[in-house]
Structure 1
């Protein structure tokens, strides 16, 4: 089985079943299959061949999905890039993967024309490509090997240059096959697609849908963090499986009235991944939605989902961080150094990426850079990022440990910690979003930190803000947060 075979098979089984629901309308598997063949024919006519790269600089649309499928059908490798990216960043990505073609929408064409777009990077609109060949001109689907690259997801590298995570058919399907069975996805389901296509959460949204013959609801980028509209969409579109970063759920809970009414009648599974979910808000959601399955998934882009933990009533009395659980998708998890209770999370198995595009292939296990520890029940807990390890007055500190304590305060809806200053002047600042009309005071947080942490990890300052800055993928943007605090301090 290959990724592009999923739509082909579902179109054969149930051609009139809805495949994609979006602001453009509802499209059947027959329509998606025909459009994918049309793009495959057009790309082939343009000279795109197996192994070539096709960059998609676009909003989330039916055409974007069909072009991904068309690229796969001729053996090409697609690289989705959100329309929110400026032309300069798209050019840097193109410089890294040397695509045969960059396909964008009308807005992308306009933005490229308004800048200094490199003419050596081939650029075309969806409309141009779509009209170049009929679907019947598509060549037979390419027989990809399971370990051939299927797509590249670009993430921010530590050097500031985008890094392309290269994923094979085997990598993706090892996760998707497990996930469909675990969640019990069927043709009757409607899955949400909250994440942008360049974010690995979208792999489940799209390919679990296509494997099961279900339908996927594309959440427009403009609604992604509009809490009222998101809550309404879940009900209006009769979503049965929701998947997002916890920040989106917290936003809906705090500002969108998500829990003000009865649980959405169609919703049966709520999945979340990408960042830690504050434990008292997990309790709140679980209490309000007792009949909705809740799964906490973990895994960096380089591995997709490699561990899973199901939230149940037994978690309601816990004050510990929500576990990330045990290994899934055929993967194996270990802590490094070995025989330590806490250390770096290391993943090996079928979901581990082929490597970063343009660099040496990945060999052996992947060292995630995430710190984990084994909880008292044998479940893995996420502690934080290795690169969030800081030094304050000679002590090495993992900021995730402090954030866990701060986020456990019932007055806190969301929290992040940063260190401002250096040397003897380094201070730990807690930045929180209040869960009610008033956030916690500094003395209150100091007491709670002192009860659970060494004295050198007690916060020095607290700031209550309307919201935490987020990256395009919906995670807390620590760099923006630190800049906000330092800018304020310099005034």
Structure 2
């Protein structure tokens, strides 16, 4: 079943059940189906047809979800961009994918009109005169399983965004697995924490639509407001939560999550996108009896492995495993000579199967298995432990260092809540810098942290500098922003050097006057 048929089918079976909840507003499946039809008619009137790309540039709302569905019903392809995306990025993405239309809100439309090509139609998401002019016949374009459904743009290594092209088959393989694994049904209520431009949102939206459940959209301004998130989770009737670990850590540390009773309706807490410090997982397990699932996979494959947390996992001093293959995929760790790694060995994780992307937009189709760039260690049970990024492997003074290993070691310190390590400088000037978020009321010293590291990693992997920070800087998707950390360290050193130079000059002047 194609992605847009999920809503059509649920509207037929459960017309009056809630489909989308957004604050005090609720859209039933009947209303969502009608809104999608109206938007499809408006797009068709603007010249959008099968295979065209449509950029959706706006803050999260039911209107954006209806727009996604409207795009799909024409056999077209939606390209979601968060409302925080600068107009320059919107122009680059629209140009890269050859967008036939950009849909945005009334406040952003004048800006979009200024930078987009004249051949690109610009539509208001709220409709206005276009809605009055549009006629909404039933639209349900026949699409093949391998036809593209959406394109998610990620940051490219060259600085130019890359469009990950996902088909209906790619998404359905993951959604079907998730529905079965989580036992989703019409009575479920799924939280949507991730932006629509982030692949985590695929489970929230289409897992709900597949079974007639409801998805509860979390506004962008609430995404990292810990008390808001805790009130939503503990004060509502959500059954499934899915977010990056940093959101859960924030809720526990600053939102008082662990002081509130766990909601009895909560059945599953899923997390993905980055390693979850094991102390945080332990605290979460003590708080709730809900299933805890670690989902793993890059945007190019969505979720391709998973692991359900066990009591044994909580005895470890490193993050829980990323587990075994799921979603119909085959995964393995490849050694440098391309042979398959065995238990205890480390290699790059490769993925083959139905969730692997069609390719990057404008580039040749994906051929063969996808190389994730993630280094994993094969466990005795055939599952995997995440070690770190291949491109997070750095050379410092001639030594190869995996930053993930250093982070895991620092993260096991009893006074550390969260940590990220970056390499700054090149050649002989290269050094390791740690950004550490202490536990509440803790202030671990640099010497203590370095001593802790020295007990578990080689001497060349001990960090040179430590910054204690209230929170790690984050990208729009909630991941650690390593570029921002490098800039912050460089600026801090520059300020310190300037201060030292000023002090030295003042001392020299004083001594000169005294002679």
Superposed pair shares fold, TM > 0.5 = yes
**CA 1:214/1:333 → structure 2, altered by over 3 Å: closer, same or farther?**
same
Note the C-alpha offset of 1:124: 1.9
Helix, strand or coil: the match of 2:3? Answer: coil
**TM-score (normalizing by structure 2):** 0.92
Q: Please name the residue that 1:431 is paired with.
A: 435
Gaps of 5+ in 2: 496-515
Q: Please name the residue that 2:226 is paired with.
A: 227
Structure number with greater Rg is 2
CA distance in 2, matches of 1:354, 1:29: 30
Q: Is the 8 A contact 2:235 2:263 kept in 1?
A: no
**CA 1:116/1:53 → structure 2, altered by over 3 Å: closer, same or farther?**
closer
Q: Please name the residue that 2:500 is paired with.
A: none
Note the C-alpha offset of 1:413: 1.2
- From 388, 393, 400, give the equivalent of 1:389: 393
**TM-score (normalizing by structure 1):** 0.97
Alignment of 1:65-464 (within 5 A): 65-112=65-112, 116-126=115-125, 127-128=127-128, 129-135=130-136, 137-139=137-139, 141-289=140-288, 291-337=289-335, 338-340=339-341, 341-464=345-468
Note the C-alpha offset of 1:265: 2.5
Q: Is the 8 A contact 1:286 1:312 kept in 2?
A: no
Q: Is the 8 A contact 1:38 1:138 kept in 2?
A: no
Q: Please name the residue that 2:499 is paired with.
A: none
1:49-69 per-residue CA deviation (whole Å, 9 max, x = no partner) reads 110111100111111111111
Q: Which moved more, 1:16-25 or 1:448-457?
A: 448-457
Note the C-alpha offset of 1:24: 5.7
Q: Please name the residue that 2:31 is paired with.
A: 31
Gaps of 5+ in 1: none
1:231-258 per-residue CA deviation (whole Å, 9 max, x = no partner) reads 0011233111000000000000110001
Q: Please name the residue that 2:474 is paired with.
A: 470
CA distance in 2, matches of 1:168, 1:56: 18
Note the C-alpha offset of 1:421: 2.5
**CA 1:78/1:387 → structure 2, altered by over 3 Å: closer, same or farther?**
same
CA distance in 2, matches of 1:90, 1:439: 42
CA distance in 2, matches of 1:370, 1:318: 21
Aligned residues: 487
**CA 1:447/1:7 → structure 2, altered by over 3 Å: closer, same or farther?**
same
Note the C-alpha offset of 1:117: 4.5
Note the C-alpha offset of 1:41: 1.6
CA distance in 1, matches of 2:102, 2:281: 41
Q: Is the 8 A contact 1:87 1:117 kept in 2?
A: no
**CA 1:97/1:106 → structure 2, altered by over 3 Å: closer, same or farther?**
same
1:261-299 per-residue CA deviation (whole Å, 9 max, x = no partner) reads 22123211100000000111111111221x110000000
Query: Aligned-residue CA RMSD in angstroms?
Result: 1.4
Note the C-alpha offset of 1:118: 4.1
Q: Which moved more, 1:42-51 or 1:395-404?
A: 42-51
Note the C-alpha offset of 1:437: 1.3
1:199-247 per-residue CA deviation (whole Å, 9 max, x = no partner) reads 0000000000000100000000000000011000112331110000000
Note the C-alpha offset of 1:315: 1.8
Helix, strand or coil: the match of 1:323? Answer: coil
